[in-house]
Structures are given as structure tokens and as C-alpha cells.
Structure 1
Amino acid sequence: MKRYYFLLMLLVINFSLKAQDLKGFWIGTLKLMGEEPPEVAFEITANAQGQLQSRIHILNQKVFDVATEHLVATGGRLEMDIPAMSTRFEGSLVNDSTISGFFLMNDKRKFTLNLGKRASLPVAKLKRPQEPVPPLPYQEEDILFPNTAAGVTLAGTLSLPAGKGPFPAVVLISGSGANDRNETIFTHKVFLVLADYLTRAGIAVLRADDRGVGKSTGDYESATNEDLAADALAGVQYLHTRKEILSRGIGLIGHSLGGDIAPIAALSPEVAYAVLMAGTASDMETAVKEAVAVMGERSGATPAAIKINARLIHDVFSIIKSEPNDSVAKIRIAAALLPLDKEIAQLSARDREIMELTQPLHVEEFLQFLSGPRRADLLRNQAGVLKRVKCPVLAINGSKDVQVLPKELKRIEKALKAGGNQQVTIKAFEGKNHLFQNAKTGLLSEYPDIEETIAPDVLAYVAAWIKNKVQ
């Protein structure tokens, strides 16, 4: 036995001396219970200094180039953090073609992931032709700026146009979920493409990682829209300190949820204008019910399934809005689910799949809405916020958007003008989806397969509107 142990130790020492052998593609299937197992690929390369670096691809989900941090390869060990996935990979080199490892989630759950070396990726990366390729005709600078009141430091990238300033500038505000500075969605780097276009057009752009993402500190999940608006304002205040920036020409662009956050930040006199890309003027319950109904209809759900789902949303949200005690709310939600569960059981499996209705229903599915930020979302008067915005506003949406319906444009216009704002521009883009891509159905399933990240006519319109407002 000791002899075999000694041989094993020699084997480990041998492979610990070949860290550079890690370069290449390492592919494995994550062991998950009850879910479609993600097929994960690590693409490990070396920079000019010979230091190893890695990107991750989720092959069967068409997700590519997920950033990693703090890669360590020593003593036959491979370790790295994956902030976008809230996880860390730890593995050991078994031989020159096998790594035994696991994902360790932030919540301490552990999932096995064994990797085998491959000569190439088994699927082609999706094309993203609008992403800028160096050398760039403008300057980019990685910066840090504080939200002092919140004790948060935001990490971002400032893009400065070529030529002599001062330049008008925008702070970008991302949509729901903890986003990186590029607002990476289904492998589309939405804010990277937007920033590239605007900077080439002579507009400086500041885009930042959300709280708790990348090098930004803080916790995203505990942040309200008001907290995130304060982060955006901290970016505006930072830009006011830069001599390259035109102080009277600093505005905001918010996409999706960012289109709801931007009006909160735009209440500050430091904000010169705001662009709302797929923002809302509705209360959260209305916006969610309407969007889910359209998505269900376009995906083939029956009217009965759509109707039951709308009742489910209404009943759960009504309880949360009226019951401040979490424990009591949980009991009341569980009671409300019982009669709905019987009706859902009568739906076809296809209806339940489309509308994402589990059977039986579980109260745990809805507890996320009891958090402070989600309670605030349910109670917020978004139209009331818009009525207080006095700076120029451009609100745009796509006619095929199923996440934020285009009918929100008229609601936004009504709210702004009701508050006396006469500097309002409303624009609907025919055939565009929630990402402002040219789309066929507008459904989320199309996003990764469309090569275009943002339609050129949308980019041109936004840039022209901003330049017109800061002349």
C-alpha cells in the first residue's frame, strides 16, 4: 500500500510541474439534480507575461466568455473565482487530460465538475460583430468612484472620445439582476456596444459593475432602486470632477430596470437629461402581469393558463402589499395557493411549462418578493416618480418587446407631461425586441441567436438626440 501511495505522490509532483499544460480547452458537465446539466468549458490561455488566464463558456446554454478572477495554478491545483455565476472553481490535475474538481457556490453548496481536455470547443462561439476590436479610436480608463453615503465603491470604465473636450457624457444604468459593466445578456455585451458607438460619436460614457459585481463593493440583492439610483448619481458626481467632461451635459441612459431607476436619479439637478430604454410607468404588478401574458400568448399558452397565472400574480402580490409581517404573509400566501393549485392541476403539461407553473405550487417560490427591495418595488409609484422629472427625457421601446411592453411609452409620456415636463421625446422602434435588436417574435429565446446586439438605427437615434440636447 505504501508503495502505491509513493507512486501516487510522484504522479502528483510530476503534474504540479506542468502548469502551462493547463492551456487549452477543458470541458465537463456540472452535476446538478433535477435540472438540465450545464456543459461547462474552461478556455485557459496565457498573457504576454506567461500568466494563465481563463474564460468560461456554458455550451448548451449558448453563453460564452464569462469572466473569471484570481486564477491560481500551482502544485497541481487549479482555482479561480467566477463572480457572474456567484461561484468558485477548485480542481486538481489528475493527469495531462483530466481535472477533478467542483463548483463551490457563495451559499456553500458544492457541485462536482470533472473536466477533460479537448483540442477545441465542440461548438462555434456566437458571432457578435458589433463588439469593438482594438485598436480603438478613443481612450478607455478603468476607474473607481465612491457612493460615500452608502459606503460603496463602484468600479467602471470611462470612455473618452478622441479630440479636444470638454465632451457631453452619460452614465449607463443596467437592467435587473447583478450586471457587469457591459450588461452582458445572453452573450451580448449591450453596454459595451452602446458605449463604443456613443464614444465614437463624441459622447463620453461611464459604465460600471453593479454593487457586488467585479471590483464593485456592496451587496446587490439588498439594494433598492433608490440605492441603485444613488450609485448612478455617484457616477454623475464623479464625471463632474473630470476636466474632459462638459458639466452641463451629463445625463443618464437606463435600460430595462435601469429605465425605472434613471428617473429616480434624474430628480437631481446634476442630471442634464435621461434616456429610458424600455422603462415603465406602471406599478410592478401591472407590468409583470401584462408582460407574462404576452410572453405566454406568443409561446402558445392557452387563455385559461394565462388567466390563472394572472390571478396567481395578483393574489400573491396583494398579500405582500397588504401584510408587512413576513411570517403572516407566508401563511397567507400558502393558503391562497391551495385553490389555485387545483386549477393549475387541470392545465396541460405544456401550459404549465410555458407559464412556468409548478404543480403543486410551493410557497418558497414567492418568498423572494418578501425582501425589502422587492416590497419596495411593489409599493413604488413609478408614474409619480416620472411626474417629478423636469429634465429632457427620451423614452424608447421596441414594438416586439415582450419584457416591457411598448404600451409603456404612452404611460411614460402621460406621466411626464402631467408633471409639466414639455421636453419629452417618445419613440417606438418597429420590429425591435427588449434588447433593441431586429427580431422575429421578440421572445427571449431569440436573443442569443441574433448576431446584432443593438440595431444601428437605435444607436444613431440615441446619439443624435443626446447631441441635440447638449448643444
Structure 2
Amino acid sequence: MNPLSLEDLKVLAQNFVDQFLQADFAAASSRFDDQMKVVFPEVKFQEFWQRFIGPAGNLLRLTVVRTAEMESYRVVFIRCQFERAALDVQIIFNIQGQISGLNLMPAETKYHAPDYVDTSVFHEVDVTVGEGQWALPGTLTLPLDQGPFPGVVLVQGSGPSDRDETIGPNRIFRDLAWGLASQGIAVLRYEKRTFKHAQMFTPELIAQMTVKEEVTDDALLAIQLMCQTPQIDPKQVFLLGHSLGATLAPCIAKQNSKLAGLIIMAGITRPLEDIILDQFTYLNSLAGPMTDEQKTELEALKAKIALVKDPGLSNAVPAKELPLEISADYWLDLRGYSPTETVKKLNIPVLILQGGRDYQVLPEKDFKGWKTALNSRSNAQLKLFPNLNHLFIVGDGKSTPQEYGIEGHMDEAVIYTIAQWIKENMIQLR
């Protein structure tokens, strides 16, 4: 039998990784040679997947990065770019095209600072937000000039997230921190509780978790830390939230009267369940007309959303019957919260920023909601960036999840807008 070509092996490798990522362990392991089947049985294969792939988040992009030959074996390297990690899968094929070896390793994803960053004018120090079992490591980025400086506390979006709000190769909170520090503004960013302490979240704790435990408690502690930092002017501390962090920014500000202002980046103004339905509908439309399977999935999602909206919803309803398997406690806690009604009752300056290509937070619905709520406010500024996506990275055409797997940076115009707005709204010391 003639050996398979490298092109054939690339196809086999990608098919194998597809099966692997879809948790089809029986199909994937059927490609193993006899020795691999002994060393790596299906049960062990599943444990391997749960340990390394599960925490990485959704797949954004999959590419063959290189091939190699060693003696009678040939190797294909597949780069898998997930939301929270980049992993290289090394697949070793024997002469018959069977898999004789498998390795998984973190891919090298070096951060490349954007042109608007000047690393010679700031430095960073490690800090801790909170204390006890939920203490969170953070980074305070400080200009080198003599303070006190205005400060910004960054609050991430939904899901487990590191302090850089890493999504694929993109680290937009580092872009923000370094970009603003280059213009004389201090920035505090920190790991989310669900990221740093993921192993501590038992099924019972997850079932009881609300945005209080996920976001607001730690954001309030971060603001407190910023206000108590000697190099920071406590009268000039601003809160910047992105996505879920932006949605909850008014709620956080309501609980802390010391904030000098709010920066809301891609914040929703509608119920979260409506946002989820819009997102799934949009994603299903990208490849053309929906398939019967997609239509069935969408109807199932609508049924779950109806449960969330049902006045009779209680925490006795299992999470698996609700959207994204988020617990009833979480949905019930959000039910009484309106970002727009809350922000209208705040007297501090507000900056609302929105990407025109954002499919997760819609300009024609959510940004419009902020405009309606703040239309008569002289201390509110709203700005739409037509070519930016949910990460405020420039792009063309319809936005897709796959573009989050391509390295980019928060647009310079966004950094400039935020910096100028902060300087214009700084409270002068008396």
C-alpha cells in the first residue's frame, strides 16, 4: 500500500481534531494504532479532553501550522485557537496513516503591543483585590510621572476571564491599560473570580451564583483598592465595564458614591435572554438558510427563554432547562435590574461606546437604548464606531466568532476617546 501524502494526512489530522473537539471519543480513537489503543483507551482520552480542552472555551479557529517527518513517522501540527487559550495538537502518523502518538501543548502567543503604547512612560505592580478565599491577583499600571493620577478600574464581560480579558490572541484589557497609561492615566485590572477560583465553584455554588458573586462584589473591592492607592487621586477614579461589565456598571456605581464617572463599552440595555436569542439567530444565519436541526435548536432555546420570562420561575427549575444552562437564581437576580433606569438616576458623567459591527450587543437596539435613556443628559456622551466589533477591533463585513481568533488590538480611536473624556471630566481638586 502506498503511503498517504502529507496533504492526505493534513485532512486526516483536521478530521481527527474535529471529532476530538466535538467529544466524539469513539470515532477519534478509532484512528489509533494498536499500541495507542492500549496506552490511550477511550476513557483516558475523555479525561484528557476534559482536563485540557474543557477550560479553554469555544473554538475560534483551527489551522495546520506545519508538518514534519521523523524516521518512518510523519507529524502534523494543528493550532487550535480557543477563547481563553491557544493549543497545538501534535499528531504522529505511522506508515499506514494510523495515529501512533498524540501531544497537546500550549501554543506560544506573545503579546505584541500596539503602536499607540509607549512602554517607557509607565510601569506595572502586582496587587491583590479583596482578601481571604476569594482574593484576586491584579495588575496596577501606573504612569512614571509624579501623581496623583486619575485611575480607571476595568470590569470584564461574562464567563471566566483573566485580567487581560484574553479572547483568542487578543488581550483588549491590556491594550486599554497600556494605552491609557501611555497618556497619563492609571489602570487596575484583575482576574475574575470564576477564572482564578474556578476549582472552588462546586455545583451547589454555581447554582446559587448571581452577578453579585460573579462581578459586582469584586468590582466594588477593586474600586476601594484604587481609591486607597497613594499614587491615585481618590476623587478621580472611573469605572470602565465591557460587555456584561458594562451592563452592570450602573449597578456598581449605584453602590459606590465615590466614582467620578462611568465608561460603558458594549453594554446591553435589554434582558439577557433576548440578547442570547438574537446571537443564536444571527450565528445560525451566517452560512445561509437555517437547517432543520438549527431550527429545532432555536425552538428549544425559545422554550427555555419562555421559562425565564415566566412570572412563576423559581430556583426549583433545573439549570439544564434554562438558556445556556445558567441557574434560575442567576436569572431571577437579573429580572429586576434595568441598566438604563439605573443609569438615569446617577449624576456622574457617562461615556457610552459601541462597535457598529458588534453582533453580540446590537447598535440598533442596545446602543439605541442608551441614547434614549441619556438623551437629555448634558454629562453623557455616546459614540458609535462603525467598523469595530464587540472587542472594539476593526474589521470588514459581517462579524463572526472566528475573527476573535485573529490577532488585533483595540482601535486607537477608542483609546483616544476614553483618555480625552477622562481628562475633560476630571474633578479638579479644591
Contact 1:432 1:442 in 2 (8 A): no
AA aligned opposite 1:413:
K
Q: Residue 468 of structure 1 corresponds to which residue in structure 2?
A: 424
Asked if 1:157 corresponds to 2:139, the answer is yes
1:411 aligns with 2:399: no
Provide closer, same or farther for how the CA distance between residues 132 and 309 of structure 1 changes in structure 2, counting only shifts above 3 A.
Answer: same
Do the aligned residues in 2 keep the contact of 1:168 with 1:246 (CA within 8 Å)?
yes
Match in the other structure for 2:249: 262
3-state SS of paired residue (1:171): strand
Does 1:179 find its partner at 2:154? Answer: no
Partner SS for 1:239 = helix
Q: Deviations over 1:116-163 (max 9, x none)?
A: 599xx9x98588452999965312111113278xx7322200111011
1:66-465 to 2 correspondences below 5 Å: 66=85, 128-130=112-114, 136-146=120-130, 152-214=134-196, 219=201, 221=206, 223-227=209-213, 228-267=215-254, 268-302=256-290, 311-322=299-310, 323-327=312-316, 329=317, 366=323, 368-407=325-364, 408-417=366-375, 421-440=377-396, 441-449=398-406, 451-465=407-421
Q: 1:395 to 1:65 in 2, by over 3 A?
A: closer
CA distance in 2, matches of 1:296, 1:64: 19
Aligned amino acid, residue 167 of structure 2:
I
Gaps of 5+ in 2: 1-15, 29-48, 54-76, 93-99
Once the two structures are superposed, residues 422-443 of structure 1 have per-residue CA deviations (whole angstroms, 9 ceiling, x without a partner) of: 3111111011110111112211
Counterpart code for 2:80: Q
* CA distance in structure 1 between the partners assigned to 2:154 and 2:187 by the alignment: 7
The SS at the match of 2:279 is: helix
* 1:21 corresponding residue in structure 2: none
The letter of the residue matching 2:24 is: G
Q: Distance in 1 between matches of 2:114 and 2:414?
A: 13
Q: Deviations over 1:51-105 (max 9, x none)?
A: xxxxxxx9532259959xxxxxxxxxxxxxx9xxxxxxxxxxxxxxx9xxxxxxx
The whole-number CA distance in structure 2 between the counterparts of 1:266 and 1:421 is 17
- Alpha-carbon distance in structure 2 between the residues aligned to 1:136 and 1:211: 31
Q: Is the contact made by 1:368 and 1:374 (CA closer than 8 Å) also made in structure 2? A: no
Aligned equivalent of 2:79: 60
Residue identity over aligned pairs, in percent, reads: 26
Evaluate the alpha carbon distance shift between residue 439 and residue 387 of structure 1 in structure 2; reply closer, same or farther with a 3 A threshold: same
TM-score (norm 1): 0.63
Higher-helix-fraction structure: 2
TM-score when normalising by structure 2: 0.68
Query: 2:269–2:370: 8 Å Cα contact kept in structure 1?
Result: yes
- What do you get for the CA RMSD once the two structures are aligned? 4.0
CA distance in 2, matches of 1:234, 1:127: 28
For these two proteins, the number of residue pairs brought into alignment is 345
Q: Secondary structure at the match of 2:140?
A: strand
1:303 CA displacement: 10
Structure 1 residue runs of 5 or longer lacking an equivalent are: 1-27, 42-57, 68-81, 83-97, 99-112, 334-362
For the structure 1 residues 304 and 435, does the alpha-carbon distance in structure 2 shift closer, same or farther, using more than 3 Å as the test? same
The one-letter code sitting in structure 1 at the alignment partner of 2:191 is D
Q: Which has the higher contact order (CA 8 A, sep 6+)?
A: 2
